[in-house]
Structure 1
Amino acid sequence: MAAPQFTAPIAPVNSPAGASPSLRSLFPDIEPACITAVITHDLKAADLYKLDTRVKDSEPTYSLSSTGTFEMNVSRHKAYKVLSSILFPLHTYFTILTAHLPARTAATVYFYRYLTHLATLASEYEWATVLEYHTLFVNRRRNDMLAGSYDGWGASDIGLLSSHVYPHRKQISLSPKGAGSTKKSPSPSSEPCRNFNAGKCESPCAWKRPHTCLAPGCGKEHPFTQHK
């Protein structure tokens, strides 16, 4: 993502009594306490599932909490196993913030930049590492928003990307998929690393595959791009 231009901080919007009736009326399917947590920046990244109205369509189970109240078990939603499990409630999160903020702010632009950024990362890198990046990124932005700054949503965090995401690019295929091919694929432990052969994996291999050339009959310790 391109670095955003500097914008003056937005004065924090005080909501001592929680979400206003007008804001609550815009999101009738979201618990008022969750709306309040969003606009006061108390909602953690791990709790985004609370904004996912699809949770209500599932068959919940209940357990007794330490305070003696019954709580809905939404563990499968907390897992965030796929991109859509994040994007759906994240859209709602940003919509609530946009409705709460003063008109004509650049925050909405930054919100949509982050949605695009997240989807792009998920298409190129292992989802578990993208989710870890997302969790840390969102919680950092919560601190920024407490000070009235929203432009951080419009720029990627290079430090987090380098340590959590970039080493875990998805495996790529260097050969076309042959329809009807009956050749047995080599076992994961013996097949040369395809990312290494594309020049996109450092030693030691993150997938524990041999860093040897994919060229038939070669097997030397250089990538396919350097095969002669």
Structure 2
Amino acid sequence: MYDAPSPFTYPPTPAQEPPNISAIYQHIDEDTLNAILNHELPAAELYKLDTRRILEAQWHLIDLEDSTVSFRCVPSALEIYQTLDSLLVPLNTYFSILCIHGLSNGQPVTLPCHFFRYSSHLIKIAAQYEWQAVLLYHFAFFARRCCEMSQGSYAGWEKIDVDLMEELLVQHRKQHEVTLSVI
């Protein structure tokens, strides 16, 4: 079995420098990285981590052209996150950043497991419930986890938030059409 060489080992040794997250994620601006590491990035701004949408991360609300001022509309969350993959791709980058930072700062090696479980949960509920409700659930769930992470706890990502599911999802179950084929 081939093991790729790695400049970092876990757990970090005292002489080992922590990884430079800015160097690893060069396409993400410093303010966004700091917001992630301080657990202050709103869920609606995850698109800033998606290399497919990187130019949109620099949306400007005001155009100054020919001495006139015009205002642009900021897209809604449903316009930005139209599909599950439009959310999962940047969310996985978010989780990767948290893993690198957390593991290099003493979080348990099980840290990535919390994030994997949430990603699986998100995939499951996206198959069962209307997308708009899933997105709203994710935003609320994300906000709750940011509060917990600011206190040092990451385990909440692997829990199913039954209260939020009852409040935001249950009444939005997808209607599966039953088709009968006559042969």
Q: Equivalent residue for 1:49?
A: 47
**Structure 1 residues 69-107: Cα deviation after superposition (integer angstroms, max 9, x where no partner):** x99966688631211111011000000000101354322
Q: Equivalent residue for 1:176?
A: 180
Which has the higher mean CA deviation after the structures are superposed, 48-57 or 72-81? 72-81
- 1:43 partner amino acid: L
Structure 1 residue 63: Cα displacement: 3.4
* Rg larger for: 1
| Aligned counterparts of 2:77 and 2:135: Cα–Cα separation in 1 | 15
- 1:35 partner amino acid: L
Superposition pairs of residues 95-114 of structure 1, within 5 angstroms: 95-103=96-104, 104-114=108-118
SS in 1 for 2:61: strand
Contact 1:47 1:78 in 2 (8 A): no
Contact 1:24 1:35 in 2 (8 A): yes
Structure 1 residue 114: Cα displacement: 0.3
CA 113–177 in structure 1, closer or farther in 2 if over 3 Å, else same = farther
Structure 1 residue 109: Cα displacement: 0.2
Structure 2: 5+ residue runs without aligned partners?
1-17, 64-70
| Aligned counterparts of 1:45 and 1:163: Cα–Cα separation in 2 | 19
CA 63–31 in structure 1, closer or farther in 2 if over 3 Å, else same = same
Contact 1:122 1:130 in 2 (8 A): yes
CA 41–173 in structure 1, closer or farther in 2 if over 3 Å, else same = same
| Aligned counterparts of 1:154 and 1:138: Cα–Cα separation in 2 | 12
- How many aligned residue pairs are there? 156
CA 178–26 in structure 1, closer or farther in 2 if over 3 Å, else same = farther
Give the alignment's TM-score, normalised by structure 1.
0.61
SS in 1 for 2:20: helix
SS in 1 for 2:81: coil
Q: Equivalent residue for 2:92?
A: 91
Q: Equivalent residue for 2:82?
A: 81
Q: Hey, which of these two has a bigger chunk of helix by percent? A: 2
Contact 1:55 1:77 in 2 (8 A): no
- Structure 1 stretches (4+) deviating beyond 4 angstroms? 70-78
Q: Equivalent residue for 1:120?
A: 124
**Structure 1 residues 176-195: Cα deviation after superposition (integer angstroms, max 9, x where no partner):** 3679xxxxxxxxxxxxxxxx
Structure 1 residue 21: Cα displacement: 7.8
Structure 1 residue 148: Cα displacement: 0.5
Give the alignment's TM-score, normalised by structure 2.
0.74
| Identity across the alignment (%) | 36
- 1:79 partner amino acid: I
CA 27–169 in structure 1, closer or farther in 2 if over 3 Å, else same = same
How large is the RMSD of aligned CA atoms in angstroms? Answer: 3.0
Contact 2:44 2:77 in 1 (8 A): no
